[in-house]
């Protein structure tokens, strides 16, 4: 019988969501705690959004010298929106983790509870 193994599944994100001629999408950009059940939804949405931003950035770069770098308004817009998505996720995660009062003395929940978490949903 094979022994069960665990793997980290914590929330994490890249420091930068895009750079010169690249854009990170899905889990490559932001990975959400599996308890949030948001991973697939966010991966599909960010993939679609990135595709549109790349199209607009390429179209725009034909008229502008900014190219596909962070100076391109559409690439910058994608970066700003990814940062907003992350902040919204953190607020919602902290709110829902804060609601869990059972097992509050257990390490799993202690690691996920922040003392300054919001008391109302964002």
Residue 59 is assigned to a structural domain of this protein: yes
Residue 73 is assigned to a structural domain of this protein: yes
Residue 91 is assigned to a structural domain of this protein: yes
pLDDT score of 15: 93
CA distance 66 to 85: 25
Given a cut of 70, the residues of the chain with pLDDT beneath it are 61-67, 114-122
pLDDT score of 85: 92
Residue 80 is assigned to a structural domain of this protein: yes
CA distance 6 to 79: 32
pLDDT score of 57: 83
Distances in Å between the Cα of 116 and the Cα atoms of 10, 28, 98, 112 are 19, 28, 10, 12
pLDDT score of 87: 94
The 10s digit of each residue's pLDDT in 49-81 is 999 988 888 887 666 556 677 778 888 899 999
Residue numbers of the domain that contains 91: 37-104
The whole-model pTM stands at: 0.78
């Amino acid at each position: 019988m094979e022994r069960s193994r665990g793997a980290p599944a914590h929330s994490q994100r890249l420091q930068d969501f895009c750079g010169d001629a690249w854009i990170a999408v899905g889990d490559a950009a932001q990975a959400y705690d599996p308890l949030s059940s948001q991973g697939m939804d966010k991966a599909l949405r960010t993939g679609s959004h990135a595709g549109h931003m790349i199209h607009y950035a390429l179209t725009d770069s034909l008229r502008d010298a900014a190219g596909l770098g962070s100076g391109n308004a559409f690439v910058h817009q994608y970066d700003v929106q990814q940062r907003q998505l992350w902040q919204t996720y953190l607020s919602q995660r902290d709110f829902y983790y804060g609601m869990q009062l059972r097992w509050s003395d257990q390490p799993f929940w202690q690691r996920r509870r922040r003392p300054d978490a919001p008391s109302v949903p964002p």
